[in-house]
């Protein structure tokens, strides 16, 4: 029993070290994880894996999430670890929803693009609107994301009306200049 605990601790420490090794890269974007943040992220990872009934081998997805999202205009040092935890939860949930049809990289690229554009940094909108629509399309047979590595595909099946700058300007002209 003690040997398993020792092995689990050694593995967690190695994973924490991997997360901290991302700091030199992310610091140029004003982001860095403390050792406490990294340990907390590992704890949240365990819970998320249990909740989603998934298993992760090797390095794990967190370093990939960090490198994909660290240049985001919507992530700041004050919410960095919390946002990473949320992105990790969303990632594992939607790996299940997408029936593992989409690669990690394709899903991360899709998530990042929507996070930066349509979602404007809103994790709830990402997980409650964009990703469910994408997952439904993939389950229905959509495979266009494979050609673009998950980039530039959302507009093909987005059902939510968006802000239209030209239409807004025309409405203003109609109201005030006629």
Q: Give per-residue pLDDT as tens, 149-175.
A: 888 888 777 776 666 667 667 777 888
Separation between Cα atoms, residue 103 and residue 42, nearest integer Å: 22
Q: Positive or negative CA dihedral for 136, 41, 34, 61?
A: negative
Domains of the chain: total: 1
Separation between Cα atoms, residue 116 and residue 145, nearest integer Å: 18
Band (178; pLDDT cuts 50, 70, 90): low
Q: In the predicted model, what is the mean pLDDT of the chain?
A: 88
Band (93; pLDDT cuts 50, 70, 90): very high
Q: Is the pTM of this model over 0.85?
A: no
Q: What pLDDT score was predicted for residue 91?
A: 96
Contacting residues for 73 by C-beta, under 8 A, at least 6 apart? 116, 121
Helix (H) or strand (E) holding 134: helix 131-139
Domain with 20, as residue range(s), is: 2-176
Separation between Cα atoms, residue 170 and residue 173, nearest integer Å: 5
Encode pLDDT of 99-153 as tens digits.
889 999 999 999 999 999 999 999 999 999 999 999 999 999 988 888 888 888 8
């Amino acid at each position: 029993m003690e040997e398993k605990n020792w092995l689990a601790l050694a593995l967690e420490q190695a994973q924490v070290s991997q997360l901290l090794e991302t700091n030199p890269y992310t610091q140029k974007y004003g982001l860095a994880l403390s050792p406490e943040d990294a340990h907390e992220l590992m704890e949240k990872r365990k819970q998320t894996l249990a909740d989603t009934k998934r298993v992760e081998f090797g390095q794990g997805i967190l370093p990939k999430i960090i490198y994909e999202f660290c240049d985001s205009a919507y992530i700041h040092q004050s919410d960095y670890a919390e946002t990473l935890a949320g992105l990790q939860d969303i990632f594992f949930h939607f790996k299940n929803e997408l029936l593992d049809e989409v690669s990690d990289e394709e899903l991360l690229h899709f998530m990042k693009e929507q996070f930066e554009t349509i979602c404007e940094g809103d994790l709830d909108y990402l997980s409650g609107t964009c990703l469910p629509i994408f997952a439904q399309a993939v389950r229905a047979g959509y495979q266009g994301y494979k050609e673009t590595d998950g980039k530039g595909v959302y507009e093909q099946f987005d059902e939510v009306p968006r802000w239209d700058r030209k239409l807004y300007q025309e409405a203003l002209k109609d109201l005030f200049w006629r």
